[in-house]
A and B are shown apart, each in its own frame.
Chain A
């Protein structure tokens, strides 16, 4: 059988690696570091019981969120999952509003109604924080459909994990987006585990990009631990979506260094495996080494980056602590837009 129409030659070609430019490279490194430190502080605040509920950390996957976000404009929309802190920070949601949200405060990005899994910021077209695996995909299709019907050239970037691939909504959404040629950028963060189950025990066809191609959708595999590779692929895919509306699909190979959530004892994968990824494939260490080798990063750069981030996060935590909670009178506010009487 011949490959589906529209399948780009690019899918088998290694992504071009542009020459590193200092300012942008430092930006990428800073953003990844910011996410990692944010997540470490979130874990610490969870241990101090200031954050409750589920807390899913993005540590290890920073290159994906940071790389993709470089390809999006403020007009583009983002639909993310319950492991969305990295995307939210990279999109520009203030750390204080995220920390406050996890503290359950009124100043949180969702007024304390959502918590860690449900960050929203419509001013930045950040449509959540969806904690139903696969549940965000149809929403992304609809946002793209609205753009199409209103003649807007925008991209809807839809993040989901490898676990979502087993959901019916994944297939329904890819089919709809391809059938109607909608401007969706599907971003599969393949971290190899659907919670505690390896994709090899979950998917009869674990080459996820092949599934996208089966819907006639150009799809590409990307090293999700290489922020430059992610940015390059995301830019190319986003530009393609913008140029001639129609979905594109990236399968981003990554790995989470921490457990699925703070409640997960992480019994289902070997310590060796985790250590291997941490030692060999850490996206921040890899990029840092690359920048040092290219003489684009000094110890002072790194130290000042760390110091700035520490100040930002200290301030975010202090702000979250000091912030007011929503008054109990507002418990039933915003169930509906209009209130009768």
Chain B
């Protein structure tokens, strides 16, 4: 099996190129996806390959073009809509919540809305309080849509291809710090499973549950825990935030009996709280220690580097959350 070295950015682009080349219903639409190549250069070059009808620059009208994507999906197309950042996606929330997520149910099952909406999420680039929050949980809250958060290069490509096979709206959250990350992956673009979480590192002492941009921090924390504390941490990458793969989470907990959930989103009302509640409901007897959460500090994202770093989860905070437990 031959492999190819791609960055996360190139992997997303490869998936879109594959989709555009193999399915004439697919088109890309979003702000600056054409000549500019996308705010994060994800679609760079696709305009030249596929032309302006299928790589469609949209004006700064998030509600308008996300809604148009929904309408195009109803009309038989497979739109891939790019919204620059998750903060900007809030301008389209009406279309997401009131149309994309509801039209199938509200029409008594007559409609499907096979739209993909991709966006950058997450902090760490000093973009301050209107560009880099982690609001994935807002989307994961909504019945009727699926929410994916690829954390690896292979998933960046494979989950998008898998999303194109879904008949319902799929939202893909790409942590902006991951775009330059490179990895060797299969040369052949193909769909990956999007129904299950993945165990990225095996361990028996504690489970670190995370996704997206926090996976690297958790793997780093696991290495430190092993080297400096002799603790074997298991790292579960959720991959899909809705629907949650609670089974994999509980299976890991059954091995380790301790859990830390790591999530850039704010703690109050966040995904870590939801996972914690599900663990309590379904795995209470498995717990030897209260579930711990390492989340974004509850502030609008600050600009100054030292403040921003302090506002985000870090490997150190994850290590501390584990070492405070009694073993």
Contact = CB atoms under 8 A, between A and B. Distances in A.
Interface of A: 77, 108-114, 118, 120-122, 127-130, 132, 135, 137-147, 149-150, 156, 168-169, 172-173, 175-176, 179, 333-338, 340
Name which of A109, A150, A335 has the most chain B CB atoms within 10 A of its CB.
Answer: A335
B137 interface: no
A147 B75 CA distance: 7
A337 B167 contact: yes
Contacts of A335: 104-105, 143-144
B106 A128 contact: yes
Interface in B99-149: 99, 103-112, 143-144
A281 B224 CA distance: 80
A149 B77 CA distance: 8
23 contacts: A109-B108, A110-B106, A110-B108, A114-B106, A127-B74, A128-B103, A138-B67, A138-B70, A139-B71, A141-B68, A142-B71, A142-B72, A142-B74, A146-B76, A156-B71, A169-B64, A172-B63, A173-B67, A176-B65, A176-B68, A336-B104, A336-B167, A340-B195
A167 B291 CA distance: 45
B299 to A, nearest CB: 29
Given A138-B95, A139-B74, A169-B63, A176 B103 contact: no
Nearest to A176: B64
Contact of B77 (A135, A146, A173, A179): A146
Closest 7 pairs between A and B when the two form their complex, measured CB to CB: A142-B71, A138-B67, A146-B75, A111-B108, A172-B64, A120-B107, A172-B61
B53 interface: yes
Contacts of B195: 340
A113 B109 CA distance: 9
Name which of A120, A137, A156, A179 has the most chain B CB atoms within 10 A of its CB.
Answer: A120
A154 B76 CA distance: 14
A157 B108 CA distance: 22
A108 B103 CA distance: 15
Given A111-B108, A142-B67, A334-B109, 16 more contacts: A110-B106, A110-B107, A110-B108, A120-B108, A120-B110, A138-B95, A139-B68, A139-B71, A139-B95, A144-B75, A145-B68, A149-B53, A169-B64, A175-B61, A176-B59, A336-B104
A138 to B, nearest CB: 2
B243 interface: yes
* Interface majority SS (helix, strand, loop, mixed), chain A: mixed
B185 to A, nearest CB: 26
Nearest to B76: A146
B206 interface: no
Nearest to B100: A139
Contacts of B58: 176
B94 A132 contact: yes
Interface string B49-67: 0000110001101011111
B89 to A, nearest CB: 14
Contacts of B143: 335
Contact of B108 (A140, A144, A176, A334): A334
A120 B106 contact: yes
B63 A118 contact: no
Name which of A111, A137, A140, A172 has the most chain B CB atoms within 10 A of its CB.
Answer: A172
Contacts of A109: 108
A150 B63 contact: no
Contacts of A145: 68, 71-72, 75, 77
B53 to A, nearest CB: 7
A137 B68 CA distance: 8
A111 B73 CA distance: 22
B74 A146 contact: yes
Contact of B63 (A113, A138, A179, A333): A138
Given A150-B76, A176-B64, A337-B167, A142 B59 contact: no
B27 interface: yes
Nearest to B111: A122
Given A110-B107, A138-B66, A337 B74 contact: no
Contacts of A128: 103, 106-107
A135 B103 CA distance: 12
Contacts of A132: 94, 98-99
Interface in B125-180: 143-144, 166-168
Nearest to A127: B74
A138 B58 CA distance: 13
Contacts of A156: 71
Contact of B168 (A77, A113, A168, A337): A337
Contacts of B69: 142
A109 B144 CA distance: 20
Nearest to B195: A340
A180 to B, nearest CB: 8
B243 A340 contact: yes
Nearest to A150: B76
A132 B101 CA distance: 14
Given A132-B94, A135-B99, A108 B67 contact: no
A338 B144 CA distance: 11
B36 to A, nearest CB: 17
Name which of A122, A135, A150, A334 has the most chain B CB atoms within 10 A of its CB.
Answer: A334
A147 to B, nearest CB: 6
Nearest to A170: B64
Contacts of A173: 64, 67-68
A135 B168 contact: no
B8 to A, nearest CB: 27
Name which of B77, B105, B108, B112 has the most chain A CB atoms within 10 A of its CB.
Answer: B108
B107 A114 contact: yes
B108 A113 contact: yes
Given A139-B70, A143-B74, A340-B195, A179 B59 contact: yes
A87 to B, nearest CB: 16
B37 to A, nearest CB: 21
